[in-house]
A and B are shown apart, each in its own frame.
Chain A
């Protein structure tokens, strides 16, 4: 079977962002960028399916600026076979991303599409589900385990109350949760090999997708900062303060 994985270039998860002084957005100049952690998990799962002989081709797609090729190369170093970049300098929203991915799905006809459950910048948690509808596919979001069978895939999902297992008809969409797997590190020979793997570059216009958004970001502000409080010397003092000062117990 064919597996398509969508990966996004985002700010490195260790970095605490700063809001620009004109409140137009967050300052991304010279900050370290990386593959969204949930997307790494998606790539890892696809590569494991290939290693198990379940998948025979893993294609990775990203939508973003030219430099997003770095994340596609990283995915190929982890084991993906080829890459597609839909190049755009516009910051696109989930719906536009899902529409573009739906076009890629139409061309590639994958049996399984794996995405991260959310990107750590926008924290939207939407793209996979939107793609599901647009491509007419079933979905297993927040997956912590997947088992591919004949014409179907069983997905265990992390939900608020615990775990839920669904059976999805193929083709299907899966979005990854943190505990699906632990991504490997790329080895140097594989990084070198990835440089020779095919990477196709397209534009949104090639797919005839309208990427105009119905949303406008008016303002981006810093949240109210919490300031550090006091250190207490003992458990007794802590209990006393919680009772009499904070009055929360």
Chain B
């Protein structure tokens, strides 16, 4: 068995989700190679070579891969896939973008967002916003899989893989990059933070999110939001936690002014400890919270920031 893992990175550094995906690959068993496709990504290759469990880092460094265009990346992965029994990518927006193209070209099904490896061909994945867990078996010749990072621990980084460069250039010529507006933040990313404090519609406006940031500063936490808060313009889209936003499982998740709709719970209910602050004691969020505080957030949150 031989497994190809696709690295998630921004040409400058490796994203943590890659480490969780390698762990899933190691659990399946066999030889694990990592594909790094990007432009001027040498520094990332050095980082990737240290991931324990990885045998070779295959680097495809070319401008056609600079922005991870799905059409180009999927062609590259499809060509390489012939040598592997499994192809794994993190279930990030990037992995979700190109992996189904790989599967369709190989004429195999994709198994989306696995959270556990049962055997070499059998995996668990949540469906219906996490309200049911399906165990699925794949009979396909190549298993194309995306991995939900919260289901697996991060691989350690004390390995020494060999780095090999690929000279394959696969340019579909179908799309081009125009621009990017990325959030600038010194805080930890939502999907890797140990503590997250999220605000919902109850926050009332975008400047009130500062209240959450004061708590986040004290705890080294990331700040998240419900869809209602994002839709209302209180927070940018990349902060949305939930079924259709980011899936998180920190040690501590503090939900402030969030009612606890199933779509929101789907994104955070695997957190170790959940705290809810809400003025409505009937809010469904209290049904999943380890510690609930029925209070006005405009009193409770500043007090919390003070007492930390």
Contacts and interface: CB of A to CB of B under 8 A. Distances in A.
Interface of A: 11, 13, 16-17, 19, 26, 38, 93-95, 98, 117-118, 120-134, 137-142, 144, 154, 157-169, 172, 177-179, 213-223, 226, 228-232, 234-236, 238-239, 241-242, 246, 248-249
B131 interface: yes
Contact of A129 (B98, B133, B272, B304): B98
A242 B244 contact: no
- Determine chain A's interface SS by DSSP, over half rule: mixed
Given A248-B195, A248-B273, A217 B135 contact: yes
A158 B127 contact: no
B122 A16 contact: no
Interface string B213-239: 000000100000001001100001110
B276 to A, nearest CB: 9
A242 B262 CA distance: 25
A214 B143 CA distance: 10
B26 interface: no
B109 A214 contact: yes
B136 A138 contact: no
Query: For chain B, which range describes its interface: under 10, 10 to 19, 20 to 34, or 35 or more residues?
Result: 35 or more
A179 B230 contact: yes
Given A162-B181, A249-B252, 8 more contacts: A13-B263, A94-B109, A126-B100, A126-B112, A140-B175, A168-B175, A223-B133, A228-B289
B275 A242 contact: yes
Contacts, number: 258
Nearest to B173: A169
A130 B112 CA distance: 13
Nearest to B74: A133
Contacts of B135: 217-221
Nearest to B286: A228
Interface string B241-254: 00110100001100
Nearest to A161: B182
Contacts of A138: 71, 172, 174-175
A192 to B, nearest CB: 32
B103 interface: yes
Nearest to A98: B104
